[in-house]
Chains A and B, each alone.
Chain A
Amino acid sequence: MALDKIGIAKRIAQEVKDGSYINLGIGIPTLVANYIPDDIEVVLQSENGLLGIGRFPHEEQVDADLINAGKQTVTMLPGSSLFNSSESFAMIRGGHVHLTILGAMEVSENGDIANWKIPGKMVKGMGGAMDLVASAENIIVAMQHKSRSGESKLLKECTLPITGIKCVKKIVTDLAVLKVMPEGGFKLLERAPSVSVEEIKEATEGKLIVEGDIPEMVI
């Protein structure tokens, strides 16, 4: 069975290493924070200018001057720090943020990502995504394997304007966990419970590399 959004978030949470500084994008990536195991300590960065994002506030704690990059009201954990946006991106470009998890409209088999614009239809803007994908040492994409209209989002080449080149390291979809190989291609690492390799092949337009038995994800 294909994973729901929470399933994708839970699987990505397993990728998080103790002691790391992490930037979570809007949508499924934000949910990852809820499923990081208790014995793992990480610091979440919000590119508008906060290290140490905590949970959402209780009603009486809501503060309009304390939001995350998705404009949601948040709290700060003990040890948090606040800074301006140029300092924030100095942290990002300077390689101090270890892991970036973000959503995508398309990923190509060489690791290009598109997630900011559909020409003539939709322009969200890139926000901090271009800086993040150009800089973080590890970039994981969380997305559905296929678009709502049933098109594969794992492509030979992106068709939409790209956000960054050769940057995505791993992809977790509703169907599979895939590694983007340095020489190109999506290497299938795990499949969602009861999802067959054939289904994943059918849903992947780009080059899919299948070697040996592919285990099911343990969520």
Chain B
Amino acid sequence: MINKVVSGADEAVKDIKDNAVLMLGGFGLCGIPENCISALLKTGVKGLTCISNNAGVDDFGIGLMLKTRQVKKMISSYVGENAEFERQLLAGELEVDLLPQGTLAERIRAGGAGIPAFFTPAGYGTEVAEGKEVREFHGKKYLMEEWLKADFALVKAWKGDTAGNLIFKGTARNFNPMMAAAGKITIAEVEELVPTGELDPNHIHTPGIYVQRIFEGKDYEKRIEQRTVTPGN
């Protein structure tokens, strides 16, 4: 019998070794694997390559792992609001590959889908194109970009079942589904874990085939970066 359920984040990440390549879902702080990040801070694993659109903020998300110097390299599209990330980058203390967001998303999708490379117009004529093959199709220039895969993909979903099927909520879906497919071992943490059969198959975003370990996370903080509101009610 297939048993994907693990007791929690500590058990789920315990075999992540130094120098592993990880994918971490999320856009900004939305849909990030909070429990797995906390567990990695505890194991103290080092030399990580982290593929993630952002690196959290200074005191939350991957930002915490940058502070503890557990990350050797980031592959991201946006440094944005993370002063420590920007500082380590400018000081040359951290290797960083910055990629167009759509290229990052598609490279991950390609990794999960078994497509070794593809062509995209994004970044042609910019420093992103350095060292990359350029081909012209129908009069327009495109860059060749290769797939991305990871030893472990850490994803966060709203609901999941014991078979590993996942449903995401709102814009917390973002990079999570593609990463789930591109990880050799995919660890899914979910807000609510239900027995197989309880989720409507019509509503599954990520089929369980992509998920090797699943657990119900706890104490989700779900921090908001920019709390913008309309006055009144």
Contacts and interface: CB of A to CB of B under 8 A. Distances in A.
A47 B158 CA distance: 20
Instruction: Tell me whether chain B's interface is mostly helix, strand or loop, or mixed.
Output: loop
A83 B169 CA distance: 10
A215 interface: no
Contacts of B117: none
Given A67-B171, A89-B105, A56 B123 contact: no
Given A66-B171, A86-B108, A134-B123, A57 B229 contact: yes
Contacts of B149: none
A123 B106 CA distance: 23
Nearest to B178: A86
Contact of B101 (A57, A71, A73, A127): A127
**Chain B CB within 10 Å, residue with most, of A63, A67, A89:** A67
Given A59-B229, A67-B30, A74-B228, A128 B176 contact: no
B69 to A, nearest CB: 19
Contacts of B114: none
A81 to B, nearest CB: 11
A127 B98 CA distance: 9
B105 A64 contact: no
Interface stretch (B1-9, B37-45, B71-79, B195-203): B71-79
Contact of A48 (B109, B171, B232): B171
The residue among A59, A65, A70, A74 with the most chain B CB atoms within 10 A of its own CB is A65
Given A93-B120, A161-B126, A82 B101 contact: no
19 contacts: A50-B171, A57-B229, A58-B230, A59-B229, A62-B224, A62-B229, A65-B170, A67-B226, A70-B226, A73-B226, A83-B173, A89-B101, A93-B121, A112-B125, A126-B101, A131-B122, A134-B122, A134-B123, A162-B125
B225 interface: yes
B164 interface: no
A88 B105 contact: yes
Interface of A: 46-50, 55-60, 62-68, 70-74, 82-86, 88-89, 92-93, 112, 120-131, 134-135, 161-165
A161 B127 contact: yes
Contacts of A88: 102, 105
Given A48-B30, A85-B175, A126 B227 contact: no
Interface in B26-67: 27-31, 53
Contacts of A130: 100-103, 122-123, 126, 128
Contacts of A84: 105, 173-178, 205
A161 B106 CA distance: 23
Contacts of A66: 170-171
A58 B136 CA distance: 49
Contacts of A112: 125
A51 to B, nearest CB: 11
Given A49-B171, A130-B123, A65 B101 contact: no
B196 to A, nearest CB: 23
Nearest to A60: B233
Contacts of A73: 224, 226-229
Contacts of B99: 126
Contact of A65 (B125, B205, B222): B222
B172 interface: yes
B80 A125 contact: yes
A134 B28 CA distance: 23
Nearest to A135: B121
B135 interface: no
